[in-house]
Structure 1
Amino acid sequence: MDEIINLGNSMIQHGKHNDRVYLMKLDKNDVSDVLYNIEEKAKENDYSKIFAKVPYGCEKEFLAKGYMVEGHVPEMVKGENDVLFLGKFLKEWRSKDEDPNLKLVLEKALRKKEEGNTLNNENKLISKYYIRLLDKKDSKEMAKVYSEVFETYPFPIHDPNYIEETMDDNLVYFGVFMEGKLIAISSCEMDVKNLNVEMTDFATLPECRGNGLAVNLLMVMEEEMVRRDIKTAYTIARAKSYGMNITFAKLEYEHSGTLIKNTNIGGDFETMNIWWKKLKK
């Protein structure tokens, strides 16, 4: 699995699993050192991509080195300042995704958004299930669900010990249960300092899909994040997934970019869509 390293007050992940360097957090005082280090890491390991989250105003040195803006999240830092999502493609094959379905998925999701809120009927389905916060005693069952849903994943969510560790590190998990069995999961990865959250790690058992569970999870997640004074929510969703893109569109998230062949999920490098929303009390 890819390794996470702290560089000053910044954080990167790198490894062969995703064949990339991922700049997860950048402190404005670390820009020059971090840029040098991620370039060296990519060169040493012959990676095919560098993916970087860069606060607006810190991007100049990156753009001068050949990075391109793939997307952004407005008001990501404390509900005020934007963050750019930059990519640098080090091998030609990584810079293109010619799957025609990706455009169709996004177009359908955007049409759903234009149609307005259609959640009332889906809310009725929740009576068959119940949703609650998950804790460490759920970790083995969570790992089992993730193992069934994902062949591979950018982080070791198939490992109960890893899941338990993340619960101590600003991750909050939610689960849908039916007759006492965990059937769907999601998580909120909070950046408490900057008041933003990534809505992520959605997984529903195959036999339980098509019941609006992800939409219901997302509504509960938003309520919990508002309670915790988080200002901005975003996701990086699989571009080929009708369900996930439509879920965020239905809840009035805005599409703000596409990350080409960004993440190894299910044994393939997948293109991802960025969706974001300003949370309101």
Structure 2
Amino acid sequence: MQPDEITHLGKSLVQHGPSNNRVYLMKLDQDDLPEIVHEMYELARQKGYTKLFAKVPANATSHFAALGFVDEARVPFMHKGESAGYFMSKYLDQRRAIPTNIKRMSAVLDQADQKSEITEKQTDKNEVVRLRLGNVDELAELYATVFETYPFPLHDPSFLSKSMLADTAFFGIFSDNKLVAAASMEMDMDWQCAEMTDFATLPEYRGQGAAGKLLATMDQAAEALPIDTAYTIARAESFGMNIVFSRAGYAFGGTLHNNTQIAGKLESMNIWHKHIRSKGAPV
């Protein structure tokens, strides 16, 4: 299945399409308020999508709440280190609002909480390195091997190149000159936050602490930049990734129900966040 289209509504960046069956407001331009709320709804209605999803700063939430959006998750200090970022949703089919595996999702959060203070065992002795344009082919191959489908076209070297040249730093682990694990730090210098995402490890190299090493390196990289908050959107049914973020000092921020299509099915996603620097209480 083709990844959803990334385009603009006014000056704001959105993703929409049948893969995730939603309209996702990725980056709001304040000049588009309040019209963009209705434009998202109209686009979803025309295309038959079942969910509207928006990442917005605290000062914009009232416009979305007025049309029936609810905040499913929030990240303190996400917007310029001063106010919270909200992940708001509106379901056009109420069946989508109900998670399909609540028992497992609850077990994942319980395990993440219980293991938050346990030091992760790392048997992988290879170092984490910053990936460059010369690595995009092998990076694309890694993502194509690990993910049958993914919300963004990580299997496409041209997409990875554009991302690197824009606002995304990729990091990887090599074993015998082969890329075996990778992740990315997607930086928003306007909001002064970074999303830690796109974690992938080849099956035969799992269980050696690669994800934890990648995250630790990206956290250190964020500390050297004008970034106040790091966050992630992790699969709510994945014990491994939720535990990785909990152990790294990230706090749970909420769950996005049936939000993202991965490996052929819609999955609920957990928000985790970490303050790199603190400037006071979030709004």
TM-score normalized with structure 2 length: 0.94
1:133 corresponding residue in structure 2: 130
**SS in structure 2 at match of 1:274:** strand
- 1:258 is matched with which residue: 245, 249, 255? 255
- 2:110 is matched with which residue: 107, 110, 114? 107
Alignment of 1:177-196 (within 5 A): 177-196=174-193
Q: Which runs of 5 or more residues in structure 2 are unaligned?
A: 279-283
RMSD: 1.4
One-letter code aligned to 2:22: R
Cα distance in 2 for partners of 1:229, 1:17 equals 34
Alignment of 1:50 with 2:52, yes or no, is: yes
Cα distance in 2 for partners of 1:147, 1:53 equals 27
2:281 corresponding residue in structure 1: none
One-letter code aligned to 1:203: A
The structural deviation recorded for 1:145 is 0.8
**SS in structure 1 at match of 2:207:** coil
Cα distance in 1 for partners of 2:211, 2:63 equals 39
**SS in structure 1 at match of 2:49:** coil
2:119 corresponding residue in structure 1: 118
One-letter code aligned to 1:52: A
1:26 corresponding residue in structure 2: 28
**SS in structure 2 at match of 1:234:** strand
Cα distance in 1 for partners of 2:230, 2:31 equals 25
**SS in structure 1 at match of 2:33:** helix
The structural deviation recorded for 1:233 is 0.1
Equivalent residues, number: 275
Contact 1:72 1:82 in 2 (8 A): yes
- 2:274 is matched with which residue: 247, 255, 277? 277
1:14 corresponding residue in structure 2: 16
Q: Deviations over 1:216-271 (max 9, x none)?
A: 10000011111122110000000011110000000110001000000000110000
Cα distance in 2 for partners of 1:64, 1:194 equals 24
Deviates more, 1:184-193 or 1:32-41: 32-41
**SS in structure 1 at match of 2:190:** coil
The structural deviation recorded for 1:98 is 3.1
1:90 corresponding residue in structure 2: 92
TM-score normalized with structure 1 length: 0.94
Extract structure 1 runs of 4+ deviating beyond 6 A.
Answer: none
Cα distance in 2 for partners of 1:241, 1:57 equals 32
One-letter code aligned to 1:221: M
The structural deviation recorded for 1:280 is 4.6
**SS in structure 2 at match of 1:264:** strand
The structural deviation recorded for 1:147 is 0.9
Contact 1:117 1:251 in 2 (8 A): no
